[in-house]
Structure 1
Amino acid sequence: MSQKLVLDTDLLRARVMNLEYEHLTAEEIRRIYIEETGSDPPDQIHVYHSQDFKNININDSGFDGTIIHFYDEEKRINQMYTIARGSEIQEKDTWKPLDWAYNTFGIFVGQNKNQYDDALRFDEMVTQKITEELKRNGQTIELKKIGLGHSLGGNHVQVIQLTAHRFDQVYVINDAPPSAYQLAYIDKRFRYELAKKFTPNILSDYNLIYSIPPSELKAFAEEYYKKQIDERSIHHLTAQEDLLYAVSGVRGFIDIGSRQVIDTNKDFTSIKDLIAKISDKDVKAIQVYLSQYSYIYNEKGFDGVVQAMTGVDIAFIESLQDYDTMDYVLHAEDILSKIDHMYDEMSEKIPVLLKHIGILYKNLDPMLSVFVQLGYMTVEEKNTVLSEVKGIEKDVTSIQQLLHELLNRERLIGIVFLNPVDILQCIETLFQIRDKVLDIEKRLQIIQENTMNLQNAITMSVNAHSLNEVIMALARSKGRTYDEYGNLILIKKMGAHEIRMNLSSAVRVYQKGLQILEEKETVLHKMKQRYFDEYVEDFEIQKRKLMNKIEDMEQNPWAYQRLLGHFTYDAERVYVLRRIEVHESIPPMDPMIPHIFETMFSYYEQEISKGKELIATIKKSFEEFFEQDQNVAKIFDLRY
């Protein structure tokens, strides 16, 4: 019998994927499952995080992911969900965009597969671990494997499915689509088929792939992979405003599987029309230009790419930020040596970069005209941007000239001697370069101010890309939403007004309240028992001991002869204790003792009773307010 999916709705999958960005736990999965289904999840939930497998990130690729294993013998459930994390804006503790750099070099250019390798290895390792555990326990239910992913994570699970066929089903949300360039770099069999179809030389010169007509490459790639897998195993959920969906029509990207498109923002459609205006020729030029830096990104990451494109040693420049004037003089020889080396690099790289800036300026007018036509900027804003970009080109040229002056001066210093005046003039030139950089920053600020509408469009497209926007769109149709902490908010309209009630918080208050009251009842029960043991029972025990003593004295008076004192031997024969009569009078326990305790116990019992009534009111209010939603009542009775 086929297993019913545990995470069987888009909303349930989206909420779990969104939680993966924080740090997914079995408790949080259970909470979300109960809130969305109104029923208990499978009996066993095990969570595996990629950072717990130390050898996963040996290349520091930036891959992160989580695997959830659900098992329930009674329900016949044995399912494993591999969640690959989506793109994060920047690397941890730095400004560098690691994941988005991978999007560029790994997907768009198609010449990096580090994150793919780590994602595949993570899935293989955890699958083996789960399989061995199931075997040890004698569990025979077939393991069903599902791949989940958002953004870059959606790309990972799709490519794994296309190349390694690891999953029974794949569900992706606002995914970065696979590209034929990426697949050809990863999948040698596909690349071999491309060589047979288009040109054998592609096996030795990968860059020839960019010369294959995009439409032919796309058609061939999609036909090839549809023969490798069941296309119905891949399911896309896409916000029509999503940025990645907007660029999915760009050369190289392929589309395999079913797709559901949803509207996450009624006031915004998409920048897809804008993206479509960019010529394929320009896109190809970008790909070819970036492809020469792919191997550097693979080896040195984003810093290596920046240095390779500009010849600027970022680490060296950053180290100078902490120097004062005297430091420059003291370390002049080392500084001049490094400037000399950096200049050699820049003399080769900067002209190429300036050439591309020139090409950008040359084509910027028609590109900005498209933005004007689409309503993303005014004519005045366009002209301002053009003027500032031209100014940036002039500033970069000036910086290049200043670097030449700096180099000539430091070489003169090196030939003659370390003259402090010349050194300070070198420092002055550095300050002039700094001022030019500040001028560029001011120009960039002006450009930013004059492209706000365009930025808003892109921002809205980026926002639509987030899982949170998708979750909100899916939830609206069910009369619910979620706050920033993932709490479920139920919405009900009362006339023209809208009432929102935080169900997650209410359930936590209800269940935590019950737990506290149960703990109080346990403590109260122990207090009563302790009172009975230490006062009531102990009083009776002491009374019984006294009565037993009296009875013993009356029945065995001779045993207490010593009570008469000490006599001589002959006197002891005369003075013999023959009978004891005890006239006992044992008063009852002081009535104030039970009164104090019973009053205290009664007070606590009333407080506990009031607490139960209060939290029962919370539950009843939700049930009555949302009487048509049967899941609401169930959620309160299921423990997170």
Structure 2
Amino acid sequence: MSNEEILNTNILLARITELEYGKSEKISEEEIRRIYIEETGKDLPVEITVYHSDDIKELKEQKDAGKDSGFDGTIIHFYNPIEGINQSYTITRGSEHSEDSGEGEPLDWYYNGFGIFTGKVKNQFENAETFDDLITKKINFKVTEDLKRGQKSGEHLESIELNKVGIGHSLGGNLIQTLQIMNDSFSSVYAINDAPPSVYQLAMIDTKFQFSLGIKFNIDPNINEQLYSIPPAELKAFAENYYKERGQNIHHITAEEDMLYGASDIRGFLDLGTREIIDTDLDFEGLRKTLGNISDGDLRKLQMFLAEIAPYYNQNGVQGVYRGLTGIDAELFTLIDTIGEEWNKLIDGPDWKFVGVDMHFSMFPLGFGAITVPFPVPEVPTKLLAAIGLLQLRQVEIMARLERLRTQIPSLIKILGATMIVMIEDVLNHLKDILGSVKNMISSLGDLGKVVIKDILKPGSPNISEYLVGVIDIAATVKVEAGNIKSKFTDIFNVPFDWFRGFTKAVEAHGLTHVATALADGNRRYEGNDMILSKGSHLQKVEVNLSSAVRVYQLGMDKYQDKKEVISRLKSLYTQEFIDDFQHRKGRLVSAINQMETNPRSYQYLLPGGNVEMKGITVHEHIRPLDSLFADTFEEIFQYLDREVDSGIKLIKKIRDSIEQLFQEDQKISAIFDLR
């Protein structure tokens, strides 16, 4: 192999990135190898080191200090100096519903609003930059030390430059593109169903770009009113031209139905690099038309509003957002509690102190004189008065923030309503069709009345055949139009469900599993990180979870191999502790007998009295063998255990053989079972 990209297919990129959202939320070497084997049928002849952002001291300290940005990411290092491989993949995770496995705040979504759309927060980008920089230095140090060890041991290892690749999905796609735009960090960047970088986001992060914006549009980019007032089309064109060269190595993999792709025409979002569009649902065209109805003016108002809230978020995180929206936060409740506590102290009886008061007296004829007299007075409740004063200030702030929120709600309603325009248009079209059918029915029923009247008033014998033909034609028309009306009312009833179903499909299309399945050939799909193979027609299809089957096979073979080793140890212990020990004891006994028979004088001391001489010893030994029942019992146990292991191995191999036979045209299947 050379140092060309190991993850060289879109499916590999999507499936490895999907591991970021696993239950453990940490990518492992074992999972990387498994997916590579499943997709290629080949082993991965490299050393794999996985680095997680949760393990980085600098980022952990921020989180422990209550300044968690919500950033999560992984860097995978593939290394084999003999094969000339030294490459890393920086994977930035997309938006999660909430942090800490669902227990924390939805920090990613705050960054989506304040960081990307508004461009007033950059903490996740800064964390991503720190993570990538620290791990890159760590990898380079590791490789340098490895080369030194190789030189000392006599190996001729050449220095291999680190080939860095970036991958990101959703919010992660935004972060990885921003890293590339700012630092030219990667040889290639793959953004899967990404949230595009925005002009407003880059105007905050990139000071040079901010300066260029000011010159181009004659504005101060730090003034929200001026920045958000630039016509979005002009701003987009300028920014895309400005970053064109830096973004040329960005490759987008996008589901046409993806919800973020549907929103990518919204003000400020950039389109850099190349894009591969995947049609994952032929019956659904996505949300671009629906979201295209949103007023740019309403979006600008929303930006202005969020820009006002962003400083609160930067200063105090999620609690700051609540204060920015309503003027209310935890400090307010603490202040109210303080007032209650101080008031209770006051009504229980104030503290008193003595104050000296000068008293003047007229004492004729001696003249005027003055003395100081102590008077008791209650102490002023300064803490209570200060708290009440602060509460009054907070009251003013709360009223102002709530009023600002009230003025913003109509714009939010308009934005929501704009997404429903397509649904309303569909309903109106169906109603127009119903109106047309009603008119046709009224006309036809009127014609039927004319036919009846005409035939009744016609002198002479009525033309029965002509009459019947006219009635039948009119009745047929009425029947058709009545069916149309019924059908259209059903369509109207289904419109809201279709509308919500469209949003559901857009959310599904955003997921990496959906992307990987769309990229795969017709007999493969994915559930989470498992590969599902199918065989047969649509009406008679057999599906096999190959990933699960391989796990069962390998785990089963491992367990039975462990059992075989345990049985082997038991047999060895049985032979050692019983058979060999018996023979050893028997040998020692026979040896002792021989010793007595050949050296009888050595046992003279055993005879009573002192005048008796020991001239010979003859031993008639009879040593019984081990009880056959004892040995047979152990042999039966060992045979039973051997049969059980053999039966289990045969069963597991039978499962494998059945899968290989079912998918015999796929030569990779057999290798997948054997490789790890």
Q: TM-score, normalised by structure 2?
A: 0.75
Number of aligned residue pairs: give it.
555
> Please, which runs of 5 or more residues in structure 1 have no aligned partner?
380-448
Instruction: Note closer, same or farther for the CA distance 1:561–1:457 as it changes in structure 2 (3 Å cut).
Output: same
User: What displacement does 1:631 show?
Assistant: 1.4
Instruction: Note closer, same or farther for the CA distance 1:481–1:555 as it changes in structure 2 (3 Å cut).
Output: same
User: What displacement does 1:223 show?
Assistant: 1.5
Residues 1:553 and 2:596 are matched in the alignment:
yes
Q: Is residue 660–residue 670 contact of structure 2 (8 Å, CA) maintained in 1?
A: yes
SS, match of residue 189 in structure 2: strand
Give the aligned partner of residue 3 of structure 1: 3
Instruction: Note closer, same or farther for the CA distance 1:637–1:375 as it changes in structure 2 (3 Å cut).
Output: farther
User: What displacement does 1:471 show?
Assistant: 2.7
Give the aligned partner of residue 572 of structure 2: 529
Instruction: Note closer, same or farther for the CA distance 1:307–1:454 as it changes in structure 2 (3 Å cut).
Output: farther
| Equivalent of residue 472 in structure 1, options 490, 498, 517 | 517
Give the aligned partner of residue 399 of structure 1: none
Q: How does 1:346-385 map to 2 (within 5 A)?
A: 346-358=398-410, 369-373=421-425
Q: Is residue 377–residue 454 contact of structure 1 (8 Å, CA) maintained in 2?
A: no
Give the aligned partner of residue 151 of structure 1: 170
Residues 1:38 and 2:41 are matched in the alignment:
yes
Q: Is residue 301–residue 411 contact of structure 2 (8 Å, CA) maintained in 1?
A: no
Instruction: Note closer, same or farther for the CA distance 1:499–1:343 as it changes in structure 2 (3 Å cut).
Output: same
Instruction: Note closer, same or farther for the CA distance 1:305–1:451 as it changes in structure 2 (3 Å cut).
Output: farther
User: What displacement does 1:283 show?
Assistant: 2.4
Residues 1:252 and 2:268 are matched in the alignment:
yes
Mapped partners of 1:361, 1:67: distance in 2: 42
Residue identity matched to 2:319 = D
Residues 1:84 and 2:92 are matched in the alignment:
yes
SS, match of residue 664 in structure 2: coil
Instruction: Note closer, same or farther for the CA distance 1:131–1:209 as it changes in structure 2 (3 Å cut).
Output: same
Mapped partners of 2:562, 2:414: distance in 1: 75
Which 10-residue stretch deviates more, 1-10 or 246-255? 1-10
Give the aligned partner of residue 73 of structure 2: 65
Residue identity matched to 1:214 = P
Residue identity matched to 2:505 = M
Residue identity matched to 1:158 = Q
SS, match of residue 579 in structure 2: helix
Q: Is residue 236–residue 270 contact of structure 2 (8 Å, CA) maintained in 1?
A: yes
Mapped partners of 1:534, 1:356: distance in 2: 86
Residue identity matched to 2:41 = G
User: What displacement does 1:170 show?
Assistant: 0.6
Instruction: Note closer, same or farther for the CA distance 1:478–1:135 as it changes in structure 2 (3 Å cut).
Output: farther
Mapped partners of 1:318, 1:34: distance in 2: 58
Give the aligned partner of residue 125 of structure 1: 134
Q: Is residue 79–residue 145 contact of structure 1 (8 Å, CA) maintained in 2?
A: yes
Give the aligned partner of residue 353 of structure 2: none
Q: How does 1:236-635 map to 2 (within 5 A)?
A: 236-313=252-329, 316=332, 340-358=392-410, 369-373=421-425, 454-475=499-520, 477-484=521-528, 486-494=529-537, 496-567=539-610, 572=611, 575-635=612-672
Instruction: Note closer, same or farther for the CA distance 1:43–1:94 as it changes in structure 2 (3 Å cut).
Output: closer
Q: Deviations over 1:495-553 (max 9, x none)?
A: 72111112222212211221122112212222222222222222222222222222222
Residue identity matched to 1:141 = I
Mapped partners of 1:374, 1:317: distance in 2: 49
Mapped partners of 1:163, 1:356: distance in 2: 34
Instruction: Note closer, same or farther for the CA distance 1:97–1:600 as it changes in structure 2 (3 Å cut).
Output: closer
Mapped partners of 1:235, 1:491: distance in 2: 31
User: What displacement does 1:607 show?
Assistant: 1.7
Mapped partners of 2:87, 2:506: distance in 1: 34
Q: Is residue 108–residue 181 contact of structure 1 (8 Å, CA) maintained in 2?
A: yes
Residue identity matched to 2:296 = D
Q: Among the aligned pairs, what percent are the same residue?
A: 43
The structure with the largest alpha-carbon Rg is: 2
Mapped partners of 1:307, 1:300: distance in 2: 9
Instruction: Note closer, same or farther for the CA distance 1:157–1:622 as it changes in structure 2 (3 Å cut).
Output: same
Give the aligned partner of residue 206 of structure 2: 187
Q: Is residue 15–residue 35 contact of structure 2 (8 Å, CA) maintained in 1?
A: yes
User: What displacement does 1:61 show?
Assistant: 1.3
Q: Deviations over 1:410-454 (max 9, x none)?
A: xxxxxxxxxxxxxxxxxxxxxxxxxxxxxxxxxxxxxxx997665
Q: Is residue 264–residue 470 contact of structure 1 (8 Å, CA) maintained in 2?
A: yes
Q: Deviations over 1:231-281 (max 9, x none)?
A: 1x2111111111211111112111111111112334422111122122333
Q: Is residue 290–residue 421 contact of structure 2 (8 Å, CA) maintained in 1?
A: no
Mapped partners of 1:160, 1:532: distance in 2: 66
User: What displacement does 1:114 show?
Assistant: 1.0
Mapped partners of 1:637, 1:115: distance in 2: 41
Mapped partners of 1:194, 1:132: distance in 2: 39
Mapped partners of 2:417, 2:523: distance in 1: 47
Give the aligned partner of residue 53 of structure 1: 56
Which 10-residue stretch deviates more, 280-289 or 252-261? 280-289
Q: Deviations over 1:95-128 (max 9, x none)?
A: 8532122111211111221111110010000001
Q: Is residue 305–residue 408 contact of structure 2 (8 Å, CA) maintained in 1?
A: no
Q: TM-score, normalised by structure 1?
A: 0.79
User: What displacement does 1:204 show?
Assistant: 5.5
Residue identity matched to 2:614 = L
